[in-house]
Amino acid sequence: MSSTILERYQKVFEKDRELAQHAVQIFPDGVTHDSRHAEPFPIYIERADGSKKWGIGGKEFIDYWAGHGALLLGHNVPEIVEAVTKQMGHGTHYGACHPLELEWGSLVKELIPSAERVRFVSSGTEATLMAIRLARTYTGKNKILKFAGHFHGWHDSVILGANPPFEAPIPGIPKGVIDTTLICPPNDIDGVEKCLQTDSDIACIILEPTGSSFGLIPTNGEFLKQLREITHDYGVVLIFDEVISGFRVAPGGAQGYYQVTPDLTTLAKILAGGLPGGAVVGKKDIINLISIKEEEETQRGKKMPHPGTFNANPLSASAGIAMLNIVKTGVPHEQVNHTAAVLRKGLNEVIDQHGLDWAVYGEFSGLKFFIGHGVHELLAADFNPDEWDYRKLKGGSDSELVGSLRSGLLLNGIDISGGGGMAMAAHTEEDVKQTIAAFDQTIEWMKADGLLE
């Protein structure tokens, strides 16, 4: 009898298991990020280049994690490697202003339509934290309105409602924060209007302008336009969280693509070219609430403190400048969007050949897996996420199948999360072919394991 996916995994990734056994003595679950938790244990990567990563046993993987979305082009982009290597020799932290932050900030201002002013931070979580506090300071109001499933990092106000079950309280978050966080169903403009009509204490609306988790629950340009109008009418700050979509869907982010300009925008990931970094950009009047000089002049008592050891650190600035100079051309966006579209089509053909109730969907460079949705008559090629309840799209996949698919794909040389992944410009036609073949092979194995009919 041939071995199961689990047996193969234990054998092929034997060395990874040894590291994982050590890791649980150091880290909870042996991992350093919730989404790296894997059963029976995660694999370990030692090196990456272009579209590929190599494990500790030397096994090669085609990478669709794309650095959690921080990599648009691929690993070790020569321009970025050169810039960062040079900067290492010049120092990594001056504790001072430096010319690179100017160049970096100018590029952000040039590319992102809402960016009248820029402030660098160190991560996407810091960026949304800062944007929300700025909105509260600006309006003098307390509450935020966010959408179920939309992810904005892990600080108190925004982690609520990010994951299913969306209404559940999260341990450690004070009641006061829960009471000031309103969670609306995604894409429901009437629901938003009702909140704004009945509650005059709402400071801001924050959303991912390409929908929850980069389109897992998609949204659309029409909804963004409606939000722009309604927030304007009610004097509420509109925040686009473009930590993923910024520089990814277009050089000007989702706001450039949909031509809807928010009051504030949060950026990270691609912004810093694969190194840590983030930014809040937006209306001068709002961002300038951190200005010491303006406070001295106006005495309005609204100065918002904003320190941060690694704000605009020179290493991230050097990588970010190299990255944004490539983003500016618009060339990578066409490439990644095309690769993702070819992959979605090819993977859905495999799904339909096997007659499974699965689908791969997404927009731009996104690949979203919907595994085991329970409607067998539906063709994956015709799957339209807009026709599905958002609770099905986020958290609706069969977790046993997802785990087995992920393990099988790793064995077949593909590293992609159970929820899907992102295309990078480094992905080749050969990578795409190999990925589709690996998907087919994994489904065969899952059938042999009795997981699928």
Ligand X SMILES: Cc1ncc(COP(=O)(O)O)c(C=O)c1O
Please report, as ranges, the residues that interact with ligand X according to CB under 6 A: 68, 123-125, 128, 151-153, 208, 241, 243-244, 268
Closer CB to ligand X, 123 or 442, in the complex? 123
The nearer residue to ligand X, 357 or 415, going by C-beta atoms, is 415
Q: Which residue is nearest to ligand X (CB)?
A: 124
Closer of 34 and 60 to ligand X (Cβ): 34
Least distance between ligand X and beta carbon 212 (Å): 9
1: number of Cβ within 10 Å:
4
Closest separation between CB of residue 303 and ligand X, Å? 25
**Least gap, CB of 420 to ligand X (angstroms):** 13
**What strands lie across the sheet with 358-361, from one edge to the other?**
358-361, 366-371, 420-422
The CA-CA-CA angle for residues 205, 220, 338, to 5°, reads: 125
What backbone torsions phi and psi does residue 303 show, to the nearest 5 degrees?
A: -60, 125
* Cα atoms in the 13 Å half-sphere on the side-chain side of 216: 27
Please, what is the minimum distance in Å from the beta carbon of residue 324 to ligand X?
A: 17
Choice between 422 and 438, CB closer to ligand X: 422
Using a 10 angstrom Cβ sphere, with 0-12 exposed, 13-18 middle and 19 or more buried, the burial of residue 368 is: buried
Q: H or E element: which one contains 282? A: strand 278-282
Least distance CB 114 / ligand X (angstroms): 16
- Residue 124 or 320 having the CB closest to ligand X: 124
The distance of Cα 327 from the centroid of its chain, to the nearest Å, equals 17
Residue type, 390: Y
Phi, psi values for residue 348, rounded to 5°: -70, -35
**Shortest CB 153 distance to ligand X, Å:** 3
Instruction: State the minimum distance, in angstroms, from the CB of residue 152 to ligand X.
Output: 5
CB of 401 to ligand X, least distance (A): 24
For the record, the structure tokens of 453 come out as 């009919």
The nearer residue to ligand X, 30 or 153, going by C-beta atoms, is 153
Nearer to ligand X, 136 or 269 (CB): 269
Contact yes or no for 104/320 (Cβ under 8 A): yes
Distances from the Cα of 11 to the Cα of 164, 363, 369, 449, angstroms: 34, 37, 27, 17
Between residues 215 and 408, which has the closer beta carbon with respect to ligand X? 215
What are φ and ψ of residue 48, in 5° steps? Answer: -145, 150
3-state secondary structure of 79: helix
Nearest approach, Cβ of residue 129 and ligand X (Å): 9
Structural element, H or E, at residue 213: helix 212-215
CB of 400 closer than 8 Å to CB of 49: no
For residue 422, the minimal CB distance to ligand X (Å) is 11
| CB nearer ligand X, residue 424 or residue 451 | 424
Q: Which is nearer to ligand X, 35 or 298 (CB)?
A: 35
Task: Classify strands 202-207 and 45-49 as parallel, antiparallel or unpaired.
Answer: unpaired
Residue 371 near residue 405 (C-beta atoms within 8 A):
yes
**What's the maximum distance between 2 C-alpha atoms anywhere in the chain?**
80
Integer Cα distance of 244 and 233 in angstroms: 28
Which of 13, 258 has the CB closer to ligand X?
A: 258
Smallest distance, Å, CB 232 to ligand X? 23
Rounded to whole angstroms, the Cα distance separating 29 from 42 reads 10
* Three-state secondary structure call for residue 414: strand
Tally of CA atoms within 13 A in the half-sphere of 70 that contains its CB: 20
